[in-house]
Every structure is written in structure tokens, then in C-alpha cells.
Chains A and B, each alone.
Chain A
Amino acid sequence: AQSVTQLDSQVPVFEEAPVELRCNYSSSVSVYLFWYVQYPNQGLQLLLKYLSGSTLVESINGFEAEFNKSQTSFHLRKPSVHISDTAEYFCAVSDGPGSGGYQKVTFGIGTKLQVIP
């Protein structure tokens, strides 16, 4: 069975400071890992994903995440945050398609990033 733990429910950080949002997962097989972002009153948007290959993945808006298999982690980082990064961030894990091709995805409970001016 797969599961995701997001260790911090809220993370306040000053504008232009670095931030790390932590995510640990458990799975018995190879995994695919995702970070989604949810802005207020909106649905979730895919921020970045790890499928295979390079363990460091980047998004177009400066976030990056590193897949660490030995520590079963997929922490999200940004070296300098902006006010517009204020949102809730969800880590998710999938162990690939099951019967019928259904891709089971398990989400963490979310981390609210509050950027302080």
C-alpha cells in the first residue's frame, strides 16, 4: 500500500527567503511522485513530477524537488519565494497503473505556504 506524509501543515516564510516543503512516502514498488499546487478557490494544478531518470526535477516557476530513494523523500524547494507562491501544496505518489490501467494516486494532506511581505 502506498502512503504520503507531509510533515508540516503550515509553513510561514518571508518573501525572498528560501523554503522547503517536506514529503515522505511509502510504497512497496517503484513510484511516481508529484507535487500539486492549489491557489485559493481553485483546483489543484500539477507543479512537477518525477517519473524516472534524473532525481532532480524542476518546474517553470523556480520550484524543484529531489527524489531520494534511500530516504523515501520528495521534498519541494525554492531558493527565493514570492508573494504569489502563497498557496497549498500537495505531494502525491502513484505506483503505476493497476487493473484496467487505472493509476492510483494517493495525496498527502497538504502544506499551506504563507509568504510574508
Chain B
Amino acid sequence: DAGITQSPRHKVTETGTPVTLRCHQTENHRYMYWYRQDPGHGLRLIHYSYGVKDTDKGEVSDGYSVSRSKTEDFLLTLESATSSQTSVYFCAISESQGVPGYGYTFGSGTRLTVV
């Protein structure tokens, strides 16, 4: 999607290895989110950020960490990948600043397979 890119688009990794996914935005939005999408579960929030160095946990944060050192970049790290983390990961951004309802803009996703 315009203004938000995810890398890599696909990755296969081995159990126990660290993995970092990158989300880059050019919209200067304050809020950034990482979701995972799994069949039967829809989208579940992993972590989110409300500013540089300001992050918080979502509903499925165990095994994941994030960092945001610049407004435009939000990194998701799997410290030691497990097969249960095989999923499609989506980054999203929003410009909500106390005024709700703007909706999210999503990236195209990263398909991660842990073998």
C-alpha cells in the first residue's frame, strides 16, 4: 500500500533463530501496530507504538519484542522463533490523535514460516 511497506515479504526460518520484520511508513503517522493473521483467529494485535520509543503490548505479545527508534520505522523481533509463530504478519498505521475513527492503513504483509 502506498505509504507503508513491509520487508521481507516472505521468509522461511528455522526454529530457535531470531527474526526481525520491518515496517516503514512515509506518512508521518504517530501510531503503528503489528498484527498477526491466522485462520480462525482473524487479526490479533501483537504490539503497538504511539511514538518514538513508546511501545506497548497487545493481546499476543509473548515471544515478540518491538522497537521504534524513528517515526517511520517499527521493527518486530522474534527472539527465538517457534513453529507457533508461523503466520502472516501485518503492520498498520493510523493518524488518530485523540480523535478516533480514522481507520488503519495496512501494509501488504510478511508471510513467515518457521520450520
Q: Which residues of A does B touch, CB under 8 Å?
A: 32, 34, 36, 41-46, 49, 51, 90, 94, 96-97, 100-103, 105, 107-110
Q: Judge whether B42 and A96 touch: CB under 8 Å.
A: no
* B43 / chain A contacts, CB cutoff of 8 Å: 44, 90, 107
Q: A94 — which chain B residues lie within 8 A by C-beta? A: 100-101
In the complex, are the beta carbons of A43 and B101 less than 8 A apart? no
Give the chain B neighbours of A32 by CB distance below 8 A: 100-101
Residue among B43, B98, B106 with max Cβ neighbours from chain A (10 Å) = B43
Asked whether, in the complex, the Cβ of A42 is within 8 Å of the Cβ of B108, the reply is: yes
Contact residues of A: prevailing secondary structure: strand
Question: Residue on A with the closest CB to B91?
Answer: A43
- Count of chain B residues near A, Cβ 8 A: 30
Query: Residue of A at shortest CB range from B50?
Result: A100
CB distance from B80 to the nearest CB of A (A): 27
Are A44's CB and B96's CB within 8 A?
Answer: no
- Contact partners of A34 in chain B: CB under 8 A: 103
Asked if B31 and A103 sit within 8 Å, CB to CB, the answer is yes
A49 partner, pick from B1, B44, B50, B103, beta carbons under 8 A? B103
Bound state CA distance, A72 and B112, in angstroms?
36
The residue on A at minimum CB distance from B48 is A102
Q: Which of B1-55 contact A (CB under 8 A)?
A: 1, 30-31, 35, 40-44, 48, 50, 54
25 contacts between A and B (CB under 8 A): A32-B100, A32-B101, A41-B108, A43-B106, A43-B107, A43-B108, A43-B109, A44-B43, A44-B106, A46-B104, A94-B101, A97-B98, A97-B99, A97-B100, A100-B56, A101-B30, A101-B50, A101-B96, A103-B100, A103-B101, A103-B102, A107-B35, A107-B43, A109-B40, A110-B42
